[in-house]
Amino acid sequence: MTPPGYFTDDSMLRRLQREHVVGLAGPRSLLMQATHPVAFAGFFALTGSLEDPYGRLQRTARVLDAIGFGSREEADRATRRVRAIHRRLRGELAEPVGRFPAGTPWAADSPKLLLWILGTLVESNLLVYQRYVGPLTRDERQAYWEDFKVVGKLFALRRRDMPDTIEDFEAYMAAMLASGDLHVSPQARELAIDVVMRPPLPGVLLPVREMINQVTVGLLPAEIRRLYGFRWDPVRAAAVRGQQEYLRRAVVPALPRKLRFVPSSQLG
C-alpha cells in the first residue's frame, strides 16, 4: 500500500500538477520571481541559479513533485533540506537595484520573499491550466490555493503570512505588480535571455524554440514584459491565443494518459 501523502487524487493540486502542459508555467514563474530585486539576490544570485536557471527549475519541480505525489515522509525530507538551505542564506544588496538601496538586507527564509516565490508559482500554474486545459470555477481556484497553503507551510510560511481567500491572493499579486518594488536588473535580464531565448532543448526540437519563446513571453503580464524589454504586439498575441485554443480544444483532451499526465501521478 502506498504511504499517504499530503494530498489525494481528488485534490486540486494533483489535478493541476499532473498535467504535463502545466510545465509551461515554469519559465513564466521564474521570470516573475526574478523581477523582485531582493528575491533575486536571495534565490538566484547566491544559489547558482543565475548560471543554471533550468537546474533551479528542475530542483524546484522535484521538491514540488515529492510534496504533491509522494508520501508525507518524502515531502518532509525534501522540504527539510530546502528550509535548512534557506536559513543559511543571508546577505545585503551589493548595489542599488530599483528602489532598493545598496545594503538592503535579505534573508531567503523571509516570509515576504517566500510568499512572492510561492505566489508566482500559483498564479502561473492557474493561468497555464486555464489557457491550455480548461476553465476553473472560483471554488476550484480557492481549493487550489488552500492546497498551496499546505505547500507554503512546508516551506515555513505561517497561515497568517499567506492571503486568506483566492480573491485576497489575486489582490496580493496585483498589488505587487503595482507596488514599484519590481525591477529587472542587468543580471535578471541575462537570466531572461537564458530562460526565454535559449531553453535547453534537444536538437530535434530546436525548430520549435521560437514558438516556446513566444508562449512564455505571452503568458507574462504586460508590465513584466515591459520591464524585461520583450517585444509584443497584437499579431503575436493572436497567434499565441489561437495556439492555446487549438491545444485546449483538440490536442490535450485527445492525449492518452501516459502522454498527458506526469509519470509520478500514475504511480500507485
pLDDT digit string, tens, across residues 8-39: 999 999 999 999 999 899 889 989 999 999 98
The per-residue pLDDT for range 215-249, each reduced to its tens digit, is 999 999 999 999 999 999 999 999 999 999 999 99
The per-residue pLDDT for range 70-116, each reduced to its tens digit, is 999 999 999 999 999 889 888 999 899 999 999 999 998 999 999 99
Checking if the pLDDT of 62 tops 60, the result is yes
What's the predicted TM-score (pTM) here? 0.92
Strands 90-92 and 105-107: antiparallel
Cβ(77)–Cβ(54) below 8 Å = no
Residue 2: per-residue pLDDT: 63
Residue 212: per-residue pLDDT: 82
Checking if the pLDDT of 48 tops 60, the result is no
Distance CA 255, CA 220 (A): 27
Checking if the pLDDT of 160 tops 70, the result is yes
Distance CA 89, CA 108 (A): 6
The per-residue pLDDT for range 165-224, each reduced to its tens digit, is 999 999 999 999 999 999 999 888 887 777 777 777 777 777 777 888 899 999 999 999
> What are the distances in angstroms from CA 173 to CA 23, 133, 258?
21, 23, 34
